[in-house]
Structure 1
Amino acid sequence: MPSPLDITRLAELLRLAAKSEILPRFRRLGSGDIRAKSEPTDLVTEADVEAERMIRRELREWAPDAVFIGEESVAADPALLGTLADAELAVVVDPVDGTFNFASGIPAFGVMASVVWKGETVAGIIYDPMGDDWVLAEKGAGAFLRRADGEAIRLAVADSRPLDAMVGMASPGYFLGKDREQLLSNLAKVRFFANYRCAAHEYRTFAGGHVDFVLYNKLMPWDHLAGSLIAAEAGGYVARFDGSSYRPLHVDGGLLIATDKDSWQLLRREIIGAI
């Protein structure tokens, strides 16, 4: 299903925003350029705000009918998220995914966008400003690493492995109390797991065949629509914890992505368990 928007043009817009508004501020933020939102580790910087403003402005010029859903726009007006339900065409943007890393001077952050058409995610883009390349997908057309010189490499997830040999990405921070304790205990069954504090790079790592699973509990569309489509187009199996499909309007229910359905079911049973 091709995107109704030109994803090459959208990808270039993410790159332009990174070069104009994000990279010039990297490791140059003043104390007044960083603010906490919901908690001390949930940050927003001037780079987030200005990059999103630029992307929104440019999109209005060439896609005026698209509803724009940006993380910072929703932070300012939470009701905006509800407009995604009735939008025929929407572009969902995370201007700086991994803001904590960005604000800390850690070079692990990304710019993400997805295209939602008639209630379905049909395109996803993850741009890495430090590497100056994209991982992107259109529904039904595969997932690719595309470099700035135009070279494109098709991506594929790793081959399946036994549970005790699996390496994965898990984000325990949004599991609470006993659920977190149980999850961390269960994760001892895999070879090891990591958390980059940046879904953009975690999805890129999975789609490139370097890890066997990714696991999240909190589902905001700007964090997961692009990456989950890319993961699926690279051959991964994507589902919420109850086995249902992940859709653009879902903000809860957890998300587990594995290299294939059998691996997903094994991880669901052994790692998620009764959580």
Structure 2
Amino acid sequence: MSSTIDTTTLADLLRRAAKAEILPRFRRLGSDDVRAKSEATDLVTEADLQAERMIKAEAAALWPDAVFVGEESVAADPALLGKLEGADLAVVVDPVDGTFNFASGIPAFGVMASVVARGETVAGIIYDPMGDDWAIAEKGGGAWLRRPGGETERLSVAAPVALDQMVGMASTGFLPKPKRGQILANLAKVRFLANYRCAAHEYRAFAGGHVHYLMYNKLMPWDHLAGTLLSIEAGAYAARFDGSPYLPHHITGGLLITPDRASWELLRREVFTV
């Protein structure tokens, strides 16, 4: 566990915020409760804002020395994102991952948090409000599914398979248009491509051994730090497109995650040729 932030306490905070601020608003949002940010599909709701406000306030009381980096806090103060790289300790939060789904009444959204210590992700939590359970990882401690009653189950990635048998998730929307068309054509080489519009559930599916690859191009820390650690602790190989490790301050360079390095190299060569 992190020596300064108790992961179980943070996980419980995410659950309480979901029950207080997110679930009561699901399928009950008013017209003034949903707003577009950068584009029509990039949304923020009152659930995002109020849940982050609650998590931020309680995190500040529990861990006053930690920098708080939340998606909505950064939207209000972009300079906050730059503090992550040099922070001795930080809590990174996505109050509602899958906001488009949430606002559409689709029950595929999650609450994510990670702990960053001196430039390294040391804990990651993905809470599913609908299933009421957590996928949790601490660096060096494995990846686990934990339920409120205390029951735990170890998570492990799928066994490697041939390229034409791979099932996975790829977020192609942020790729440059010429490359997007090329990669979409290349994806005909795999068995199946999906996109839940919710990294929280995509990472949970991968770490649970249900799919064989994840690919993302835009790397905001609240979207990917928790899930990448979860995947690695479940046995995965993860790297940016150039083969370098993905670090908390990275927001570009793409990310490809697979069950092993051989699968990574195969997909990078045959499909994700960006």
Tell me the SS of whatever aligns to 1:116: strand
Determine the structure 2 residue equivalent to 1:134. Answer: 134
1:224 Cα deviation from its structure 2 partner? 0.1
- Distance in 1 (alpha carbons) for counterparts of 2:85 and 2:239: 20
Does residue 181 (structure 1) correspond to residue 177 (structure 2)? The answer is no
User: Which whole-Å CA distance do the structure 1 matches of 2:152 and 2:177 have between them?
Assistant: 44
Distance 2:272 2:213 in 1: 13
The superposition leaves residues 62-119 of structure 1 with CA deviations (integer Å, 9 ceiling, x where unpaired) of 1000000000000011001011122100000000000000000000000000000011
CA contact (8 A) 1:3 1:122 kept: no
SS of aligned partner of 1:172: coil
Would you say the 8 A contact 1:116–1:123 is kept in 2?
Answer: yes
SS in 2 for 1:174: coil
Normalized against structure 2, the TM-score is what?
A: 0.99
Which residue number corresponds to residue 150 of structure 1? 150
What is the CA–CA distance in structure 2 between the aligned matches of 1:44 and 1:175, rounded to whole Å?
Answer: 22
CA deviation map 1:197-232 (0-9, x unaligned): 000000000000000000000000000000000000
Task: Give the AA of the match of 2:219.
Answer: L
Once the two structures are aligned, what percentage of the paired residues are identical? Answer: 72
Determine if contact 2:220/2:250 at 8 Å carries over to the other structure: yes
77-86 or 238-247: bigger deviation = 77-86
Which residue does the alignment assign to 1:25?
A: 25
Query: C-alpha root-mean-square deviation of aligned residues, in Å?
Result: 0.7
2: distance between equivalents of 1:216 and 1:129?
24
CA distance in 1, matches of 2:117, 2:2: 10
> Which digits, 9 at most, give the CA deviation of each residue in 1:38-64, with x for residues without a partner?
000000000000000000000111100
SS at match of 2:84: helix
Contact 1:3 1:115 in 2 (8 A): no
Instruction: Write the distance in 2 (CA, Å) between the matches of 1:160 and 1:128.
Output: 27
User: What's 1:43 paired with?
Assistant: 43
Q: Partner residue of 2:227?
A: 227
